[in-house]
Amino acid sequence: MNAALFIARSWPRHLVLAKARRAYILLELVIALSIFAIAVVGLAKSLNTTLEVGNIMNKDNAVRLGLRSFIEETKRKAAPDMALSITDEQLGVTYTSTVEPLSVVTPRNGTAVQDCFRVTFKASYQAGSEVREESVELWFYQNQAEQEKRRKR
């Protein structure tokens, strides 16, 4: 004789239905908890990603602010002395500047303007797992008298 048929015949009908309802409620509870766990894991991962992006953006902002300060500090020097390299240990950023003479020709008479320079400022750093570099290029004129004046400061 079949076991299910034996149970159905030996137990009252309302007890068999009550056991089936309890098993169904248990199954619903397991499914609901699984869905809730998946949602919580997804939310936690989303929050973690948001925090990582926020930290990277804060570091980018701090690097840009440091680069701005580095540019202002370097611009006060004489043109040949502007080639510098400074490392900010706290941020993990290296600021460098390179100076090149620049040849500028006036359009009216075609004469070359002397004492023009191109300075390139770079900030190299690591944001997350990515190596990044910010750069700014500045062209300016600084004659010999101005260079001597800046060296004496």
Residues 148 and 81: beta-carbon distance below 8 Å: no
Tell me the pTM: 0.69
| Cβ contacts of 48 within 8 Å, gap of 6 or more | none
Residues 111 and 105: beta-carbon distance below 8 Å: yes
Chain segment 67-101, per-residue pLDDT in tens: 999 999 999 999 889 999 999 999 999 999 999 99
> Residue 117 belongs to what H/E stretch?
strand 112-127
Mean of all residue pLDDT scores within the chain: 87
